[in-house]
Every structure is written in C-alpha cells, then in structure tokens.
Structure 1
Amino acid sequence: MTVWNIIMAVLLVIFLWLYIDFTWGRKSHMKKLERTALPIRQSDMELFADGPSLFDDLFSELKKAQKHIHVLFYIVKDDKISKEFLTILKGKAKEGVEVRLLLDWAGSFPVKRKTVKDLKSSGIKFSFAHVPKPPFLFYSFQARNHRKITVIDGKIGYSGGFNIGKEYINQDKKLSPWRDYHLKFRGEGVEDLQREFLIDWYKATKTDLLANKVYFPEQPAGDYRHQFASYKGAFLEESFSSLIRNAKKSITIGTPYFIPGKRLFQDLIHALERGVSVKILVPCITDHILVKEASYLYLRTLIKQGAYVHEYKNGFYHAKAIIIDDEISDIGTANFDKRSLFLNYEINCFIYDKEFIKQIRSVMDKDIDNAKRLTLKELNRLDPLRTFKEMLARSVASFL
C-alpha cells in the first residue's frame, strides 16, 4: 500500500466518523427536544446599535447591582474590555453580590485557566457551556450556546448580538466601526431572560435554581408588547418561515451571514412572487472565511426575482433583525444561517409594538443608507477565485 493510499484511507475513516458522529448526535439531540412557547410580555425596551453606548450602559448597571448578576455570553476574550468586564464582576462578587458567569466553551476558548481560577477565587460561580462530550464529540462541539443574556437583580435584562471583545467597541482595524443591535429590558420580559439563563445554568452545572423565588421578583408591565423565543438547534426555521409566509407587503432582513437553507429560501422566492418587497442587508466585509461566498448561491436567485440586496459599507454589520410589514420585528442572537437554524442555542425577541418597530425601522433604514446595492452584474462577473470559494463554501455551509 502506497503512502497516498494510506492517507486516503485515514481521511476516509475520519470523514465516516465525523458523519456518523454528527448524524447520530443530531438524532439523539432531536429526540430530547420539545417545543415550548413563552408568553407575550409587556416591557420597557431600549435599542442599542453601537458597542460603546451599550457597554457604557451595561457596565454602569452591573456596578449598581445589589443582589445577583447572571451573565451568559458566547464570546469573551482575553483583551482590555474583556478584562474590564471581568474585573467588574469580580468586584461585585467581593461585595457579596451573587455572580454567575456562563460562557460558551468554543466561543470563549481564549479565556485562560488562570483567569477562570481567578474568577472562582473572587467568589464568582463560573462554568463553561456546551463543553464537547462523548459519545458525540463532533456534534457536541458544533452545537454551541450562541445566546447573550444578562440579568441584574432580576429586574434589568439585556440580549442581542453583542459579545465582549475589542471589535465590539470599534478597536479592530478591519471590522470597525462594528454595527449590531442589542436590547435592554425592564419589566415582565426580564423573568423570561432569567428563566432561560437558569435553564442553561442547570444544563452546564446541574444546579437547579428555577424554583428560587429570589431570582424572580414581581415585575411591572412595561410599554411594549414582545415575546421571547428560545431555540436549541431546532424550530427557529419554522418561526422564520411563519413570519415570511405571512408577510403581505414587506420583508427586511439584516444578518451578517445569509445562508438560509432550502425552506426559507423558497419562502422568500414565494414572497417575491406574490408581490412582497424583500430587502436584505449583509456586510460588505466579513469576519469569517467563506460566509460571504456561501451566500451568493441564494442572493443571485433572489436578486433575479426582484429582491434588493444591500452590502453595508460603514464598517462591519453583525446585527440580526427582521421586520415584517412594519408590524412584527425580530431582534435576537440568531443569524439567518444554517448554524443558527439547526445547531446553536439561540434566544430571540419578537416585538409586536408598532412604535418600537418604528425605532428599529429607523435604525435599519439608516444602515441601508450606509450600504451599496449588490447587483447581478457584480455577482456574475468572471472571478475564478470567488468561484472556487463558492464551491468550497457550499460543501461546508452548515458549519460556517
């Protein structure tokens, strides 16, 4: 047997193992899932679209915490703002405030063991979420906790697209300024954010705090109707599909990664065929390889059918938002891609208040003004390197 044959045999064995691991892991995961509906709530909400203003507000509220702080992020890094964030949490823990910090294992891999030890010695209850485990190592590595939840004293909540890192406060040369959407809540909806955090905390630590009423103070009703939706690698496609199929006039989608899969792709085509206006806002520059090329297969057809596709030019666009007929809006952690649809744990907020949706519309329209329209001529221009990247991207689109 030649060296080449040995290499091919090894690669074949690895591929088969990955395929079996992922397929059986997915089936095992789906057997355990049940779709749950969270109630419609009334909360006061505030929309943040840039990192500096969000983190000024978030860090200020964290410093004022008196009883408990619960935080879940997909990404925390080993940089200046991450250290500032962790220092605030350590300070509050030393003051006697209960602090629980949950970070996704893959997304927050830069957090060092020494840092974790320091956090725990300061009194912070810390855990990584979604640590890969047998028997389905590959699948469990892919199914990440992509949520971003902060709950302070059970009364103030945050969720949206921002993580913790220098790029989110415009300190990355390539990706600055960073554009994203994040929501702040006061009112009934905070209870649902708290509950979802504690469910994830239990999954990671086997510590059940859901029956502890101290984490669920009575909440006043706020001004805006909304509803959280929690996803665990399933049912998000159905939610997005329902929104698109019920659209009568307009659909606006903002996403950093547009890899919708067959069902949502067909839903958008059918929406265009029945005369619904479709606008899609994506970034011009990317933060991950091949994600842009993976989108072109879908965007070409949608543009042919009459969709307007805009590439954001004023920095990097990372927001996740949908507006349907200016009557329903979705802002959350889920991208319009296969990873969010079929793998990651996500949490989204569906908003039913027209006045608040006007605020979202104003922000998205401003972002579209800072974008260029992508044309079919540009997408079809002869570019052998791009064509090769597109072919490669299609083969791994589910994992981008």
Structure 2
Amino acid sequence: MRWLVIAIILLFLLVLDYKWGDKVSKASARKKVGIERESDISLFTTGETLFDDYFAQLEQAKHHIHILFYIVRDDEIGQRFFSLLEQKVNEGVEVRLLVDWVGSFGLPASLRQKSGQFAFANRPTLPFFFYKLNERNHRKITVIDGKIGYLGGFNVGKEYMGQDPKFGHWRDYHLKIVGEGVHDLQRQFQEDWTKATGQSFGDDERYFPPLRKGMMKHRLLPTDGKYLEDEFIQLIKQAKQEIIIGTPYFIPSKKIMHSLLEAMERGVQLTIIVPMQADHPFVKEAAYPSFRRLLHTGAHIYQFYHGFYHAKVIVIDDDICDIGTANFDRRSLFINYEMNCYIYDKSFIQHVKQTIAKDIDTSTLLTAEYFRKQSWLHRLKEGVATWMSPLL
C-alpha cells in the first residue's frame, strides 16, 4: 500500500509538472509567419543521394557550416560526418553543430569535440523537468556559407542510409534550398543556437550574404510547440479536390480530424501514406481510431511496406506542397520545435505527386476488414496507445 501511495504521488507530480510546464511554454511561444521567398529547391528521397550531395557541399564550405539535427548516431555514418567536420575546422572553417539532447543522448565527447563549436539543444532543466524532457528540437537544418541550405526528415545514422536490417530501405523527403530561403534557415539556426549557448554569431554579410532569387516560390515556417495545428487546419480548409498526407505517425488532434472529415464531406479525396512497420511502441496503434473513422468516410489509407516510411509531406490539390520536419502527430503539433517549407511551384508539386505515386506502388491499401479481424490484444494495445497519444 505504501508503494502504491508513493507511485500515485509521483504520477500526480509528473502530470502537474507537464501541465504547468506546457502552460508556461505556450505563453512564451511566438507565432512566426514566414516570408514568401523565391529559391531553387531540390528533393531527395534516399539517404544515399542526399548524403552524397550533402557531404560534397560540406567539403566545399569556405567560411562557416551551421548544422542542427535531432539525431546524430555514433556509427559509421556519424563517424564519417564528424571526420568531415573536423577536417573543415582544421581548414579554418567555422563549424557550429547543435543536436537535440534527448535525440542524440549518449553521443560521445570524443566525437563532439571534433565538430568545432558544439551544443545540445533543449537540455532539460528545472523547473518543469519532465515537460522539458519531452520538449525537443526536432528541426533538421543545415546552412553552408549562408548560401546553401538543407531541411527535411533525414538525420545522421546508418538507418537513414538504409543500412539497418531492422528497417531496410529508408524512405524520407529532404530539401536542398539555394536562394533567398537560406536566410530564413540561417535565422532559425541562429535563434536556436543562441537559446542553447547564450551566444550569437552576428548579422553581417559573412552569415547573411546577398542571395539571388530562385525559380520556386516558397515559405519557411518554424513552430515551437504551438500554432502548427492552426497552420495544418488552414491547409486542409484550402483543399478543393485532393489532400495527400505522408507521415510516419498519424495521430491528429481533434480539431484536425474534424477539418479532415469536413473536407471529405465537401468532396475532397483524402489519401494517407504511413509505414507498415513501426519504429516506436504504440505509434501504429494510436492511429487506428482515426483510421477507422476516415475509412468509413471514404479515405484511401496506404501502408508502405518497402522498408520504413519517414517522409513528412502534405499536398493540397496542385497548389501547395508542405515538406519539412513535422510529423502528423500530437508531439509535432503541440510539443516539438519544427520547421516546414510550403512550396507553391506547380512543377515541383507535380514532381512530388509523382514521387508519392511511386511510394503508393510499394504500399498496401488498408481496409475496414483489417480492423474487424483484430484480436482483443490488439484492441488492448490500441486503448493504451490512445491514452498515451499526447506524448506519441
């Protein structure tokens, strides 16, 4: 009985810590609207093609390299990454590497020291330790010499190169941005770096050089655990014919579910792509209550089986494509620090839709019959997952 009382008190304190910390965090969050820019944008969908290009651009850096990742692994890919950063430091290039404290927990000091200036983002502190433990910087931003930028779903590790036998082929979407939009990536990195270290690196032309306009109109949108829900709802409301959502985790809020159902009622076709296998406990089951409702209303839901599907993409008709770091789940909506890119170029959107069509070719259609055949154990897991969904 004594241990039960202690457990109840501890649970109450954790809930209080989380609720109060969330309230304080939301009160201080700023809405960042983002400026419409014009840049040249390339899409990468495999780790091999991305990191070939990425490492080649790092090697050519002349003045500075600014990198923020959620996860950097201590494996063959991570060691290659750190060796390259060490090389650039020895050449006199300024290197700043920022990684999330939870996402990259356990990264050895011997590797961290190779990267020039290193810092952990979102290191949990008192007060509200439990809340801050969940409040993570999930952005993946790279800026090279203030002229070339990268943003998307890939982190640094062998699984992202398709070299982890547990997951096999890794499907993800990552952008390379050359042009005006790099200023916005740099500005967000500067804000995150200053928050983590208390230091800034200036606003002069070494870091914010004049940039030419590119061919594609776009808008970069950072969010800090607030306002992303409103942004996604506005996207859904704009749809007239089609909404496509690709995500590793589909755990929408009640408001977003309501918006999706409303869109389908007015004749919009909803297509969702998720992975067949899960990389975290309960995330797959947490999607099932929403899937049941959406299937009943006519949605097409596909499970990608050719490896692991980690892409974060939303397409609205032929008008808007969103690719970034945010998953379609409660954690990205209400806790994590994210950054998305809205792209308005019709030729790029068609390219993304063709890429999605290939993903659907290696997916299986989910049906209502699947849920009718579920065992009581699956139902139990679904109930637990629903209860845990705010933290998934």
TM-score by length of 2: 0.99
Q: In the alignment, is the contact (CA less than 8 A) between 1:155 and 1:190 conserved in 2? A: yes
Q: Give the distance between the partners of 2:166 and 2:197, measured in 1 at CA.
A: 37
The alpha carbon displacement at 1:33 in A equals 1.6
Q: For residues 116-137 of structure 1, give each alpha carbon's deviation from its aligned partner in whole angstroms, at most 9, with x where no partner exists.
A: 2x326xxx01000000010010
Paired letter, 1:52: E
Q: Give the distance between the partners of 2:205 and 2:282, measured in 1 at CA.
A: 46
Corresponding position of 1:247: 239
Corresponding position of 2:376: 384
Q: Give the distance between the partners of 2:372 and 2:128, measured in 1 at CA.
A: 41
The alpha carbon displacement at 1:36 in A equals 2.0
Q: Give the distance between the partners of 2:110 and 2:44, measured in 1 at CA.
A: 33
Corresponding position of 2:145: 153
Q: For residues 213-271 of structure 1, give each alpha carbon's deviation from its aligned partner in whole angstroms, at most 9, with x where no partner exists.
A: 32000000000000000000000000000010121100000000000010111111111
Superposed, 1:15-26 pairs within 5 Å as: 15-26=11-22
Paired letter, 1:266: H
Corresponding position of 1:169: 161
Corresponding position of 1:75: 71
Corresponding position of 1:66: 62
Q: For residues 311-339 of structure 1, give each alpha carbon's deviation from its aligned partner in whole angstroms, at most 9, with x where no partner exists.
A: 00111000000000121010000000000
Q: Give the distance between the partners of 2:30 and 2:202, measured in 1 at CA.
A: 18
The alpha carbon displacement at 1:210 in A equals 4.5
2:98 maps to 1:102: yes
Superposed, 1:32-71 pairs within 5 Å as: 32-71=28-67
Q: In the alignment, is the contact (CA less than 8 A) between 2:31 and 2:227 conserved in 1? A: yes
Q: In the alignment, is the contact (CA less than 8 A) between 1:44 and 1:185 conserved in 2? A: yes
Corresponding position of 2:340: 348
Q: Give the distance between the partners of 1:210 and 1:387, measured in 2 at CA.
A: 54
Corresponding position of 1:318: 310
Q: Give the distance between the partners of 2:202 and 2:141, measured in 1 at CA.
A: 16
Paired letter, 1:34: R
Q: In the alignment, is the contact (CA less than 8 A) between 1:331 and 1:348 conserved in 2? A: yes
Corresponding position of 1:289: 281
Q: Give the distance between the partners of 1:315 and 1:262, measured in 2 at CA.
A: 30
Q: In the alignment, is the contact (CA less than 8 A) between 1:199 and 1:210 conserved in 2? A: no
Q: Which runs of 5+ in 2 are unaligned?
A: none
Q: In the alignment, is the contact (CA less than 8 A) between 1:158 and 1:184 conserved in 2? A: yes
Q: Give the distance between the partners of 2:92 and 2:369, measured in 1 at CA.
A: 61
Q: Give the distance between the partners of 1:57 and 1:371, measured in 2 at CA.
A: 28
Structure 2 vs 1, CA of residues 352 and 210 (structure 1 numbering), >3 Å: closer, same or farther? farther
Corresponding position of 2:264: 272
Q: For residues 75-115 of structure 1, give each alpha carbon's deviation from its aligned partner in whole angstroms, at most 9, with x where no partner exists.
A: 00110000100110011001100000000000001312333
Paired letter, 1:191: H
Runs of 4+ in structure 1 deviating by more than 3 angstroms, as ranges, are: none
Paired letter, 2:370: E
Paired letter, 2:94: E
Q: What secondary structure sits across from 2:200 in the alignment?
A: coil
Corresponding position of 1:119: 114
Superposed, 1:175-254 pairs within 5 Å as: 175-254=167-246
Which residue, out of 265, 275, 292, partners 1:300? 292
Paired letter, 1:228: L
Q: Give the distance between the partners of 1:32 and 1:213, measured in 2 at CA.
A: 30
Q: What secondary structure sits across from 1:215 in the alignment?
A: coil
Q: What secondary structure sits across from 1:288 in the alignment?
A: coil
Paired letter, 1:69: I
Q: Give the distance between the partners of 1:295 and 1:380, measured in 2 at CA.
A: 15
Q: Give the distance between the partners of 1:326 and 1:374, measured in 2 at CA.
A: 25
Q: In the alignment, is the contact (CA less than 8 A) between 1:285 and 1:316 conserved in 2? A: yes
The alpha carbon displacement at 1:384 in A equals 1.8
Corresponding position of 2:351: 359
Percentage of matched positions with identical amino acids: 48
Paired letter, 2:264: L
Corresponding position of 1:29: 25
Paired letter, 2:101: W
Structure 2 vs 1, CA of residues 293 and 143 (structure 1 numbering), >3 Å: closer, same or farther? same
The alpha carbon displacement at 1:385 in A equals 1.8
The alpha carbon displacement at 1:212 in A equals 3.3
Q: Give the distance between the partners of 1:382 and 1:98, measured in 2 at CA.
A: 55
Corresponding position of 2:89: 93
Q: Give the distance between the partners of 1:212 and 1:132, measured in 2 at CA.
A: 32
Q: What secondary structure sits across from 1:214 in the alignment?
A: coil
The alpha carbon displacement at 1:380 in A equals 2.0
Paired letter, 1:78: D
Which residue, out of 314, 324, 329, partners 1:332? 324
Corresponding position of 1:258: 250
Q: Give the distance between the partners of 1:74 and 1:366, measured in 2 at CA.
A: 28
Q: Give the distance between the partners of 1:38 and 1:145, measured in 2 at CA.
A: 19
